Structure formats: structure tokens, C-alpha cells
Amino acid sequence: MARAFLLLILTAFCVAGCDDNAVFDHYQSLPNQWHKDSIVTFKVTDIDSLQSYNLFINISNTDDYPFSNLYLITQMIYPHGKVVQDTLEYEMASSNGEWMGVGLGEAKWSKLWYKENIQFPEQGTYTFKFRQAMRRIGEKDGLKLLKGITEVGLRIENTNQSKSARRE
């Protein structure tokens, strides 16, 4: 299992390194669980303010992930302080229980649409923050630890290069 996971990670980084489509493609590893107070943060600088982009959230999960969907709370913070916050839901498994991502063994990668055809009009650093917002049915409080998530990534592509990449 660990060997297959390492092979998957190595393959993903090799493919990402050879990819001309992305203008930003970074990941943060998690210890096969995502604490409810752990915020995954990415900072994006020097991005063309005249170009339009598509943004994706990349998630790596294992068979330990106990749900068929994923709720995220996202924030995009502009250089001058404007904050755009969204609560997003993604399907992670089909109705028959098979993971929708790609990968070898129990590790699966999902490329999830985040924002489409956006521009970055302000000069400076944009900050993106992601946190999990999962809870069990009937429970008021969210899960303290969400098992089975091993990496979270942010990918930014030029719009002309990602129109057909709805879900990989």
C-alpha cells in the first residue's frame, strides 16, 4: 500500500512538472487526516492581471475516506483585503461507491472545479484558504478529524488551456 502511494505521488509530481497548462500548481500534504481547525493556505503572486484563469482544488484521498462527498469552505483574499468566501460540495464517489478520482491502488486524485474564467485585477499577493467542513448526518458539530485526505492542492490554468478539463 505505501509503495503504491509513493509511486502515485512521484507520478503526479512528474506529470505536474511537465505540464505547460498550469501557471500555479502547489500541494500541501496531510497526515491521512484533516483536522477541522487546519487551514490549507496558498499564496499566489506575480499573476497576469489581463489573463483569465480557471482554478481547481486537487484532493488526494485514500480508501480511509468515509464519505462519498466533500464539503469545503474556501476563501480567496485579494491583495487589498477583499475576501470571497464559498461553501462548496464535491462528489468524491459514484453511486456504486467507486472513487471518482484517478490513481493507483487505494490513493485517488480528484481535480475539482473551484472558480471559472476569473481575473486577478489587483497587483500583489492573493491568498487562498481551504478547510474541511464535514459532519455526520444529524450532528451539529463538524468532524474534528476527517480521515483519508492526504493532500490538498491549488491549480491555476489559463482559460484557453483548461476548457475541456471539467473533471480529471
Residue 165 CA: distances (Å) to CA of 34, 114, 116, 158: 27, 12, 11, 12
Return the domain boundaries, the chain: 2-161
* CATH no. for 2-161: 2.60.120
The 3-state DSSP class for residue 161 equals helix
Higher pLDDT, 20 or 12: 20
Place of cell 491568498: 127
The 3-state DSSP class for residue 159 equals helix
The pLDDT tens digits for 60-77 are: 999 999 999 999 999 999
User: What is the pLDDT, as a whole number, of residue 12?
Assistant: 52
The pLDDT tens digits for 97-125 are: 888 889 877 889 999 999 999 999 999 99
Higher pLDDT, 167 or 74: 74
Q: Is the dihedral of CA 140, 142, 148, 149 positive or negative?
A: positive
C-alpha cell at 138: 444529524
The gap between the terminal CA atoms of the chain, to the nearest Å, is 23
Kindly report whether the global pTM for this prediction surpasses the value 0.85.
no
